[in-house]
Amino acid sequence: MIKAESLTKQYGRLHAVDNISFTVQPGEVLGFLGPNGAGKTTTMRMVAGFIAPTSGHSEICGFSVEDQPLEAKRQLGYLPEGAPSYGEMTPRQFLDFIARIRGLDGGRRRRRLDDVVGRLQLGTVLDQRIETLSKGFRRRVGLAQAIIHDPPVLILDEPTDGLDPNQKHEVRELINAMAKDKIIVISTHILEEVGAVCTRAIIIAAGRIVADETPDALIRRSRYHNAVTLRLTTPATLPETAAALRGLDGVDHVEADERACSITAFPAGGAVIVTAIADLAGRNNWPLEQLHLESGRMDEVFRSITEQEAGQ
């Protein structure tokens, strides 16, 4: 279990992190979201024991990060922001170094090395200097370093930053595969990632937690949740279609986009309006190209939550 209690970090008068508390249970994958500078990395650094909080404290698997740092760090695999590693070493040397420091001996060290090299597909670059590798490989070396001792707790700061879409997919698969029996915290500003790997999301803005929900609950906050978007073949009928939609029960308001030739109807109070709209379109023979039920837009939720906070 990870426990953070009233974590606060002050730099002079600036509250980089302001009274953040949360706990994460085994099996949970917690996504840390927030604009740049919101305090994601600072929070992770405090929980990982790299910097000391101004006040508050944290625990990893029952060990206090501040008072029993070595025990806490043994339970932890940590990928720092930017995935630093020693450029003059090869991945094989680097991973061997980390494994030794982590106290893995002979046979176990070799088995774990083989395991992470396989999982992260590092086999082809194992004996090249890290500084000559592409950004994607370097990130994977950083991930390999974090999981080499098979820790119960993983904290990964932007694990997919700099990866191409295929590599991102692979890293997400890796996280999903490990998720069952581990505690995983990842930070990201790639919103699609939250739905893809996280069971829970915390949004922080200006150093404070502004939302702590499942990704589904978060997306339900979107004004697009259960909205219906229609795309017509011709813009000519746009005004009358909009008028008809406005008259429908459960429709709060309608937004038309002439350029995209589309209309979005927003439900009042989360009502389900898609069947009514489909019926209406069928009866009136609207020149429909597409009818689409929106589940919600994460980026819009993110923006509305974080900007609201920044505005206060």
Partner 1 sequence: MNAISTIAMRELRAYFATPLAYVFIVIFLALMGAFTFYIGGFYEAEQANLSAFFNFHPWLYLFLVPAISMRLWAEERRSGNIELLMTLPITTVQAVIGKFLAAWAFTGVALALSFPIWLTVNYLGDPDNGVILAAYVGSLFMAGGFLAIGSCISAANKNQVVAFIITVVICFLFLLAGFPLVLDFFGGWAPQALLDTVASLSFRTHFESISKGIIDLRDIVYFLMVIAAWLYATAVVIELKKAD
Residues in contact with partner 1 by CB under 8 A are 45, 48-51, 69-71, 73-74, 76, 78, 80-82, 84-89, 93, 97-98, 100-103, 145
Beta carbon of residue 96, minimum distance to partner 1 (angstroms, whole number): 9
Q: Which CB atom, from 80 or from 296, has the smaller least distance to partner 1?
A: 80
Pair of tokens at residue 153: 């707790």
CA 88 from chain centre, in angstroms, equals 31
Beta carbon of residue 85, minimum distance to partner 1 (angstroms, whole number): 7
Closest CA to 34 of 228, 205, 244: 205
Q: Which CB atom, from 41 or from 160, has the smaller least distance to partner 1?
A: 41
Q: Which long-range contacts (CB under 8 A, 24 or more apart) does 250-259 make?
A: 250/276
Beta carbon of residue 38, minimum distance to partner 1 (angstroms, whole number): 17
Q: Which CB atom, from 69 or from 195, has the smaller least distance to partner 1?
A: 69
Whether the CA torsion 292, 293, 296, 300 is positive or negative: it is positive
CB contact at 8 A, 49 and 75:
no
Name every residue whose Cβ is closer than 8 Å to that of residue 94 and which is 6 or more positions away in sequence. 85, 86, 130, 141, 145
Beta carbon of residue 95, minimum distance to partner 1 (angstroms, whole number): 12
Name every residue whose Cβ is closer than 8 Å to that of residue 62 and which is 6 or more positions away in sequence. 1
Closest CA to 3 of 107, 70, 54, 75: 75
Q: Which CB atom, from 72 or from 273, has the smaller least distance to partner 1?
A: 72
Q: Which CB atom, from 79 or from 232, has the smaller least distance to partner 1?
A: 79
Beta carbon of residue 88, minimum distance to partner 1 (angstroms, whole number): 4
Q: Which CB atom, from 70 or from 234, has the smaller least distance to partner 1?
A: 70
Q: Give the 3-state secondary structure of residue 144.
A: helix
Pair of tokens at residue 5: 């209690």
Beta carbon of residue 191, minimum distance to partner 1 (angstroms, whole number): 26
Q: How many H-runs (helices) and E-runs (strands) does the chain carry?
A: 11, 14
Q: Which CB atom, from 69 or from 235, has the smaller least distance to partner 1?
A: 69
Beta carbon of residue 252, minimum distance to partner 1 (angstroms, whole number): 48
- How many Å apart are CA 17 and CA 209, to the nearest integer? 9
